[in-house]
Chain A
Amino acid sequence: MLDIKNLQVKAEGKEILKGIDLHVNAGEVHAIMGPNGSGKSTLARVIAGHPEYEVTGGEIQYEGRDLLAMDPDERAREGVFMAFQYPVEIAGVNNAYFLKAAVNAKRKHHGQPELDAMEFMQLIQEKSTLLDINQSMLQRSVNEGFSGGEKKRNEIFQMALLEPKLAVLDETDSGLDIDALKTVASGVNAMRGPERAIVVVTHYQRLLDYIVPDYVHVLSAGRIVKSGGKELALELERKGYGWIETGAEPVGA
């Protein structure tokens, strides 16, 4: 599904990713861990197509297509989804209206009829229970005045509505208390399936107690320095990132 080869990325002239290789198959959940500044969020945002990054080398194949050649909105309509670390507040745009526009943009792209207001409300009903999305969150402006937990739930709610093939969760656990974390995790787990790949970007092991990954990769200074199974996350939790950063066991360097 996702094939990243030797990806090198700059932002504001500074080299951030220095040759990333990552292969993710449908049905798999990968966790990308790493200390602050290691480039985890950059990787997530480059996959989503954020314009502030410059890809200076390497490639990203998504379902055999050149992902980097696609506009961010085309990526989204083709099934790439990033849950934002900092969901953007958009004053004056009703959340329900926005969600419907997003769902219909994708449906139109795939030649499906657009949902009318009734059909969309049914879809909302169906998907909202698990993530505890209430009427007021739907009727307010997108993310405006939402609490940290509401913002993250709204992100995963969008994921549930858009049913992406590839979901990248950028620090979805940041700023969440334990109850909100469980709600968000159960929303993500409900989306796990053989057709879908999920990449979880996180600093802490905590989220991975609830979203158990198949693979864990450790990113440090723009490179994946260690890959392993879910037990790697526990090892990191025990030993901290210092163990990796000292370069004792560099992998793929």
Chain B
Amino acid sequence: MTQVAEKLQPWIAVVEQRPQGGVRWLQDVRDKAAARFAALGFPTVREEDWRFTNVASIASREYRTAPPAPVTAAELEAVPYSGLPLRLVVVNGRFSAELSRLHGLPQGVRAGSLAAAVTGHSDVVPRFFAQAADAHSRAFVALNTALVEDGAYLYIPDGTVMEQPVEILYVAAGESAVDDMIQARTLIVAGEHSQSRIVETWVALRGGAYFTNAVTEVFAGANAVVDHYKVQQEGLDAFHIATMQINAQRGATVSSHSFSLGGKLVRNDAEAVLDGEGAEVTLNGLYLADGDRLVDNHTTIDHAQAHCPSHEIYKGILGGKARAVFNGKIIVRQDAQKTDAKQTNRALLLSDDASINTKPQLEIFADDVKCTHGAAIGQLDDDAIFYLRARGLTYFEARDLLIHAFAGEIIDRVQIEPLKQALEAELYAQLAKDLAEIDAA
């Protein structure tokens, strides 16, 4: 038996003890995923997509499946981003009705437990669940799918316009002495011509080196408008591995903004398929890391149909010995003529020891397309610093202004004012701490 297979043994045992029973189709999905996970094992740095991100520290650890944990409403008020009026709360992967606030949802909207929806909304859930996320070839998706028990479910009927944004607040509430594993699963179905704003926030109340393995599927029906945000502020010792899979039908407009502020090892796979003519997708991201943390963003925008624009801007700010990876793949399929894809990727390195590996990856099979990409990695612009100082701002004021401007380009796109303010507060507080450390050194 190889070393890798040996290491996988405890994990095989974990998926063998997967949840059983319930509806037949779901059990089939779990069983297949379990078999795939056993066959795939964890990715290694020998695989191109994981070259710079070594997950051996996850694979070699033994986790406890996070049990239900008592969390009080008062505790929740203390976490950032918890203030939106409509919210679904998911604690350790399980929907909490007590902590959620779901009054005043428009008629026909379903928001709540994914487990409940499997039986309670059985004409919709089986059509979408596990249809976008790839449990066949992605080990972490397979692991999540094999172990799925509950999660968040949001369904917006055709033609429904949600005035209020909906927040899905994922809370890690383990014990610091035990390494918990949280399988978080989310299914979002936005009907034709519907409009919605959805905020995923990931926070920790307690817990040390826990491991969140998240899978989110977003289906946007024809002409739907979905404005999605993900704010990841897990504990600083936590592992956060997440896959988000967006499917945009004809004429749908989907934007997703990812803000990554926490976690020790973070991997985001954000993928969007433009699956109907005239669909439009925006994937933007801002990440911040310091210490010896690692943030890896892999994005894929898959132009499967013609006449689709896509936009992408990812920015990172790295201090200490932090590492980042950005891989932006754009696929333009043979039928996807008149594609217009733009990608920009920028990173600001605040220290000499911080680093980033970045790669655009264009796979173009159509001939009448427009694809642009650009990357810029570097320090702050000395000319800009001098210009500001020549007008009386101190070096520190000038530097902070430039860093805030850098981040502001992404934060300013947030269309939900309280979220934007909370993000600014959290981000600038972290930056202030990082910069104070740099100044002290």
Contacts and interface: CB of A to CB of B under 8 A. Distances in A.
Interface of A: 48-51, 71-73, 75-77, 81-82, 84, 87-88, 90-93, 98, 101-102, 105-106, 109, 141-142, 158, 162
B390 A90 contact: no
Interface stretch (B35-43, B208-216, B256-264, B400-408): B400-408
A142 B388 CA distance: 10
Interface stretch (B44-52, B141-149, B391-399): B391-399
B405 A91 contact: yes
B56 interface: no
Interface stretch (B101-109, B220-228, B237-245, B379-387): B379-387
Given A90-B405, A91-B405, A92-B405, 19 more contacts: A51-B382, A72-B386, A72-B390, A73-B389, A73-B392, A73-B395, A73-B398, A75-B390, A84-B390, A88-B381, A88-B384, A88-B386, A90-B388, A92-B409, A93-B405, A101-B401, A105-B392, A105-B394, A109-B392
A142 B383 CA distance: 13
Contact of A71 (B383, B384, B389, B391): B389
B386 A102 contact: no
B390 A101 contact: no
Contact of B386 (A50, A77, A105, A158): A50
B265 to A, nearest CB: 30
B397 A101 contact: yes
Contacts of A50: 386
A101 to B, nearest CB: 6
- Interface core residue of A49, A87, A92, A141 (most chain B CB under 10 Å): A92
Interface string B405-429: 1101100000000000000000000
B392 A76 contact: yes
Select the residue from A71, A75, A76, A93 with max chain B CB neighbours within 10 A: A93
In this complex, which of A73, A81, A84, A105 has the most chain B Cβ atoms within 10 angstroms of its Cβ? A73
Contacts of B405: 90-93, 141
Contacts of B381: 88, 90
Interface of B: 381-384, 386-395, 397-398, 401-402, 404-406, 408-409
> Which 7 A-B residue pairs are closest in the complex by CB-CB distance?
A92-B405, A105-B392, A76-B392, A102-B391, A88-B387, A73-B389, A72-B389
Contacts of A162: 391-392
B423 to A, nearest CB: 16
A82 B390 contact: yes
23 contacts: A49-B389, A49-B390, A72-B386, A73-B393, A73-B398, A75-B390, A76-B390, A76-B391, A81-B390, A84-B390, A88-B384, A90-B405, A91-B405, A92-B405, A98-B401, A101-B391, A102-B392, A105-B391, A105-B392, A106-B392, A109-B392, A158-B391, A162-B392
A154 B241 CA distance: 48
Nearest to B408: A92
Nearest to B387: A88
A16 B108 CA distance: 76
Q: Interface on chain B toward A: helix, strand, loop, or mixed SS? A: helix
A98 B408 CA distance: 15
A42 to B, nearest CB: 14
B389 A88 contact: no
A84 B383 CA distance: 11
Contacts of B391: 73, 76, 98, 101-102, 105, 158, 162
A98 to B, nearest CB: 7
Nearest to A158: B391
Contacts of A105: 391-394, 397
Given A93-B401, A93-B405, A48 B390 contact: yes
B392 A93 contact: no
A90 B387 contact: yes
A79 to B, nearest CB: 10
B393 A88 contact: no
Among A72, A75, A82, A142, the one with the most B-chain Cβ atoms within 10 Å of its Cβ is: A72
B401 A87 contact: no
Contacts of B390: 48-49, 72-73, 75-76, 81-82, 84
Contacts of A81: 390
A42 B140 CA distance: 59
Nearest to A83: B390
Given A92-B406, A92-B408, A92-B409, A101 B393 contact: yes
A68 B76 CA distance: 55
A101 B398 CA distance: 10
B408 to A, nearest CB: 5
Contacts of A102: 391-393
Contact of A91 (B388, B393, B397, B409): B409
Nearest to B398: A73
Contacts of A73: 389-395, 398
Contacts of B383: 88
B398 to A, nearest CB: 8
A84 B328 CA distance: 38
Nearest to B409: A92
A76 B401 contact: no
A46 to B, nearest CB: 12
Contacts of A88: 381, 383-384, 386-387
Contacts of B386: 50-51, 72, 88
